[in-house]
Amino acid sequence: MTTSRRKFLSAGTAAAVGAGSLGFPMVAKAQQTFNWKMTSAYPKGSPFYMDGPGSATDLAKRIEVMSGGRLKIQVYGAGELIPALEGFDAVRAGTVEMNHANSYFWTGKTFAAQYFCAVPFGLNFQGVNGWFYDGGGINLWHEVYAPFGMVAFPCGNTGVQMTGWFKKEIKSVADFKGLKMRIPGLAGKVYASLGVDVKLLPGGEIFPALERGVIDAAEFVGPFQDRRLGLQKAAKFYHTTGWHEPATVSELLINKAAWDKLPADLKAVVENAAAACNVISEGWCQKTNADAMEDLIKNQGVIAKPLPDAVVKALREATDKVLAEAIAKDPVTKKVHDSYMAYKKKFDSWSGYSESVYHNKILG
């Protein structure tokens, strides 16, 4: 062996031996496996949320496959491990590592959380993803949840939702007075300011409440999901389109202590699997909603109508007031609001040259 080759091999051996306690445990750590639990706000079998492309179950499978089996996630539907709307507290306490739901359910914890789900008259699917991935939205999400010891990522999107089901047609703002309606999030606060008696019910409780007259109106998701719950059997007026939820984001909520224990490559697996489900789920909604809407109107006697312009105007004014009051009370909400609205202003300007022109001029 030449002198230079001996020096090279000796140096390599020394480096390997020198790594000792550093090198070998790092290799072992890279092969470490994790078994996590993920709860959901929705019952097992629920399309989009629990079953099908982009669902919680699909997300868990993707993470397991992409991680080579190193991160396995057991998925629990609402009521199996914890009640439907207790995921926030369960993840915060470390009872489970993950929860799959919508951040507007946590309005009682922090008002700012709702901006990461849906904002009335806010960003659509393209816009909210731009804010999340390129406008600092996800970083703000983490900042809002930091005091609770959690992080979160978008993992699904319904696209624009429907205004909802009404036993009587909404013809004026006066029709909201005393109306009992199931509606979560910011939209619930807006409706309440116009005289609606707002109810927050899990998906599985909506139909019986509407059928029995416990509520007079209800909002859930869109044609496919709503038809599956049978809402068209309890109310016939289906108002369009979702001023309240122009793009409703599914939230993957993760305990921060558990998250910090994952090696970098598994964190990347989770983030990319969540991003994939975010896109895939919205695509699934477009197809299924188109088919379901056609069936509801043609075969089930549903009357689909947009809200009157005067009603929409009143809702917009009420939304502005609710948001103004919220940001005046809480600097965290104001920080998120300012970021969201600054991004929306740029997005709307660009959309005026692109998407809006296409829809208005090309599609007519």
> Tens of pLDDT along 74-103?
999 999 999 999 999 999 999 999 999 999
The sheet with strand 249-255 has its strands ordered as: 71-76, 34-40, 98-101, 249-255, 150-157
Q: Are residues 43 and 79 in contact, defined by beta-carbon separation less than 8 angstroms?
A: yes
pTM, two decimal places: 0.86
Contacts of 137 (CB under 8 A, 6+ apart): 116, 128, 131, 339, 340, 343
Find the range with the poorest average confidence among 1-15, 20-34, 269-283: 1-15
- Mean pLDDT for the stretch of residues 203-231: 94
